[in-house]
Structures are given as C-alpha cells and as structure tokens.
Amino acid sequence: MHTYILQIETSTSMCSVALVESGIVRQHESVNEPNVHASQLTLLIQALLDQENIGFKDLSAIAVSMGPGSYTGLRIGVSTAKGLCYALDIPLIAVNTLDAIYSGFRANEGKSLSYDLYIPMLDARRMEVYCASFDDTGRSVVTTQALIIDGTSFDQLIVQYPRICLFGPGADKLKDVFSTGQGVDIIEEVQTNATDMSKIAFDKYQAKDFEDVAYFEPYYLKDFVATTAKKRPGL
C-alpha cells in the first residue's frame, strides 16, 4: 500500500510543497518570493499532484512546517494543511522548522561536512534569529530559542564544541560577525524546503504521532506584533 504524504513549508519567503512516498521525495515545487503564499500555495499543491497523477483521495497524511518562522507564512501553511486534513479525514503531522532545516542540511549540502555542532537558523529581523543546536550525532543540544547574535554568542559553546556550523535563512546575515579562526563557520544560501521534513514526517507517520486538527496552532515562538502606519503631519 502506498503512503503518500503531502508536505507544506511556508515558514519563510519560500513557499514550498513536496509529495513524498514512504519517506522518498517523488516531486516538489517551490516559489521564493515574498508574500505569495496566499496566492500560490494551493496552486503549487494542485500542480504537484497533477504531475504525479495523484488525487487528493490518495494522500495518507499532510505534514506542515509548524514554526518558528514568519507569522503570516505559518498561518497560511497551517490553515491550508488543517483544511485539507478536515476535508480528506486524514492525519496532520507537524514538523519543527529548525529540525527540518537540520535534517535536510545533513542529508544534502552538509553530507560531506564534519562539525562538532550544527545550528540551523531562521531570520527574526535585525540581529535576532530563531535557532536550535545539534551535535554531530543529531542529538539536540539546545532546543528552539530566539537569540540576538553578536561575536560572543557562541563563546561558551565553543569550549565544548570547537567547530560550529551556522546555516539556514537566518545565518547569511551573520557572515560579517564571525571572522575566520573563531571556530564558527557559516554555510550560506541554505533555504527552507518542503523536502527537508521527509524523514521526520515519515517517522512520525509510522509512529502515529499526529496533531489534533481542531486545536493545533503554529509555533510562533514570539507574539505577533501588528504595526500601523504613522500619520503624516496635518492629517
């Protein structure tokens, strides 16, 4: 029996979907543009299924990047995933965005690299990032957190983990913070992708580690703060 999982990643400007059969990616589609999730996500999903001649009724589960990340992107991705699960009566699988970035990096770009500590990062504006830390065996060392980065942020970790690797959409802006020889390397241009969650999602599917569709909410990590435009003088 086929196990098809539709995977949705909308935590950053990357809007990405993947169709995965028993943990193996069959097809994926992505658009990397700001503010296109609402208009493009369902179109990408339909195009993906059409390419593989798979109907919605053939899906076994929906997996979604649960956060942290962009408030609006996460809300759209999770709402779409929940709607599909309701309509199709199939389970919802939630995958931590940073866990997925780490898993995809180690399976692809980072396969040939050897570090003591791996830190996937998402941009949280200015010099703040969302991050987590994993050792070279994949064990979680520091769980998901929001962190303001400066040149001393990893001084304590370096004592135990002399070679640290930073990667993900939040890491690129830090290339001027850490100089060569500090023990902190930055692997640039590692983006989020729905394919990154394949192993985690399939493992959760096999373990029946599902979310309550009615009550599940994205993991925003920080409260959303709405801003209003400043009034011009005299108005």
The dihedrals phi and psi of 129, each to the nearest 5 degrees, come to -135, 160
Among left, alpha and beta (phi > 0; psi -120 to 50; other), residue 65 is beta
Q: How far apart are the first and last CA of the chain?
A: 65
The pLDDT tens digits for 126-175 are: 899 999 999 999 999 999 999 999 999 999 999 999 999 999 999 999 98
Three-state DSSP state, 1: coil
Using CA atoms, how far apart are residues 88 and 81, in angstroms rounded to an integer? Answer: 11
With residue 67 as reference, give the H or E element that holds it.
Answer: strand 61-67
Q: What is the pLDDT of residue 225?
A: 42
Q: How many CB atoms lie within 10 A of CB 232?
A: 6
pTM for this entry: 0.91
Q: What is the pLDDT of residue 125?
A: 87
With residue 80 as reference, give the H or E element that holds it.
Answer: helix 71-88
> Residue 199 has which token pair?
């192993």
Write the single-letter amino acid at 79: S
Whether residue 228 is predicted with pLDDT greater than 70 in this model: the reply is no
Angle, in degrees to the nearest 10, between helices 71-88 and 37-52: 40
CA neighbor of 14 nearest in space, from 63, 61, 77? 77
Contact 191, 32 (CB under 8 A): yes
Using CA atoms, how far apart are residues 39 and 15, in angstroms rounded to an integer? Answer: 10
Q: What is the pLDDT of residue 109?
A: 87
Averaged pLDDT for residues 26-35:
93
Confidence bin at 10 (pLDDT 50/70/90): very high
The pLDDT tens digits for 178-225 are: 876 679 999 999 999 999 999 999 999 999 999 999 999 999 987 544
Using CA atoms, how far apart are residues 129 and 60, in angstroms rounded to an integer? Answer: 34
> Residue 45 has which token pair?
């999903």
* Cα of 96 vs its chain's centroid, Å: 7
Whether residue 23 is predicted with pLDDT greater than 90 in this model: the reply is yes
Q: What is the pLDDT of residue 180?
A: 66
Per-residue burial over 75-110, b if 16 or more Cβ lie within 10 Å, else e, is bbbbebbbebbeebebbbbbbbbbbbbbbbbbeeeb
Percent of residues in the chain assigned helix, strand, coil, to nearest 5:
30, 30, 40
The pLDDT tens digits for 82-103 are: 999 999 999 999 999 999 999 9
Render 193-228 in DSSP notation, one character per residue. -GGGGHHHHHHHHHTT--B-TTT-----SS------
The dihedrals phi and psi of 191, each to the nearest 5 degrees, come to -100, 165
